[in-house]
Amino acid sequence: MPEGPEIHRAASTLRKALEGQIITNVECPYQTIRNQEHRFLGKEVISVKARSKAMLIHIGDDVLYSHNQLYGRWTVRKTTSKERKTNRSLRIKLQTESHVACLYSATDIELLEPWEIEQHPYIARLGPDVADQELQLQPVLEQVQNPKFGGRQLCHLLLDQSFLAGVGNYLRSEILFNAGLNPHRRLKSLTTAEQSQLAESALATTQLAYAQKGVTVDKDLYDLLREQGLSRGQARHYVFTRDGLSCHQCQRLITHTRLSGRRLDYCEHCQV
């Protein structure tokens, strides 16, 4: 399942293709937006933004809201290139003079007025979005210091989008490793220094994953591991999916656990 960095990268691709352009052709076969072609056709694409796992495309007077859930996917191609065959169900096709953007398989699609965005039930409950390129450290630190979350274990808290938006499963393991924190710690047990470590790691790890297309280890280490013959999947993380292998930092074995049916990997020695 795509996490914040992947959704923000998809938004960046859509933005480059659509923003400032006029919609010249549109198809809206999906039930929640059926017969709404007139709201897009001939209108300018004002902005494309990701908010955690939701995509918001402001066109004319409306905002197209979509949440990909498990299966949804946006594709972008030039109008001159051929459409790829797919078994996925088309939800909306937006065409400009130069590009075609298609959303497939998503089930959560709505048209909103711009003022409705912040009140949308999904958007309204989101915490600061750590995959947002413009997010600063302060709002993240405020969440980490918020007593409302104090009793929660870090392993559960990090997947709660009302705490920090944009964090999914691989980021949870990697953020905790970079912060040097054991996943079973409760937020209120953190010292002031550890609070800073967690906030800094949440922001830096997610932003690095965005910049490096899902790779969370630093570039020098990644390049070295690839030179040694490791695949991208084997080299991309410090701990996630590396259970039974040795920690890059202390050489002890990475520990594996499952929480709420989702994997979490960590180093018992480096994460205290």
Residue positions annotated with a catalytic role = 2-3, 53, 262
Q: What's the angle, vertex CA 39, arms to CA 37 and CA 45, rounded to 5?
A: 105
List C-alpha distances in Å: 138 to 143, 145, 153: 9, 11, 22
Q: Under the criterion CB under 5 A, does residue 269 sit at the interface with Zn ion?
A: yes
**Residue (129 or 174) nearer to Zn ion, CB:** 174
Residue 259 pairs in a beta bridge with 262
d(CA 130, CA 83): 34
CB of residue 111 to Zn ion, shortest distance in Å: 49
**Residue (208 or 247) nearer to Zn ion, CB:** 247
DSSP string, 130-198: TT-TT--HHHHHHHHT-GGGTTSBHHHHTT-TTTSBT--HHHHHHHHHHHT--TT-BGGG--HHHHHHH
**Residue (124 or 245) nearer to Zn ion, CB:** 245
Q: What phi and psi values does residue 178 have, to the nearest 5 degrees?
A: -65, -30
Question: Which of the stretches 28-36, 213-221, 238-246, 259-267 binds Zn ion when contact is defined by CB under 5 A?
Answer: 259-267
Q: Which amino acid, residue 180?
A: G
Q: Under the criterion CB under 5 A, does residue 182 sit at the interface with Zn ion?
A: no
**Residue (109 or 247) nearer to Zn ion, CB:** 247
Number of residues that bind Zn ion (CB under 5 A): 6
HSE, side-chain direction, 13 A CA sphere, residue 93:
15
CB of residue 208 to Zn ion, shortest distance in Å: 19
CB of residue 175 to Zn ion, shortest distance in Å: 15
Q: Which two tokens stand for residue 128?
A: 């600061």
Q: Under the criterion CB under 5 A, does residue 267 sit at the interface with Zn ion?
A: yes
Q: Which amino acid, residue 236?
A: R
Q: Under the criterion CB under 5 A, does residue 45 sit at the interface with Zn ion?
A: no
Rg (C-alpha) for the chain, rounded Å, is 20
Residues 220-249 within binding reach of Zn ion (CB under 5 A)? 247, 249
Q: Which residue has its beta carbon closest to Zn ion? A: 247
Residue from 17, 92, 187, 270 binding Zn ion (CB under 5 A):
270
Q: Under the criterion CB under 5 A, does residue 250 sit at the interface with Zn ion?
A: yes
Q: Under the criterion CB under 5 A, does residue 93 sit at the interface with Zn ion?
A: no
Residues 134-173 as x/- pattern, contact with Zn ion by CB under 5 A: ----------------------------------------
Question: Which of the stretches 97-105, 118-126, 164-172, 263-271 binds Zn ion when contact is defined by CB under 5 A?
Answer: 263-271
DSSP string, 19-68: TTPBP-EEE--SGGGTT-GGGTTT-BEEEEEEETTEEEEEETTEEEEEE-
Chain positions contacting Zn ion, by CB under 5 A: 247, 249-250, 267, 269-270
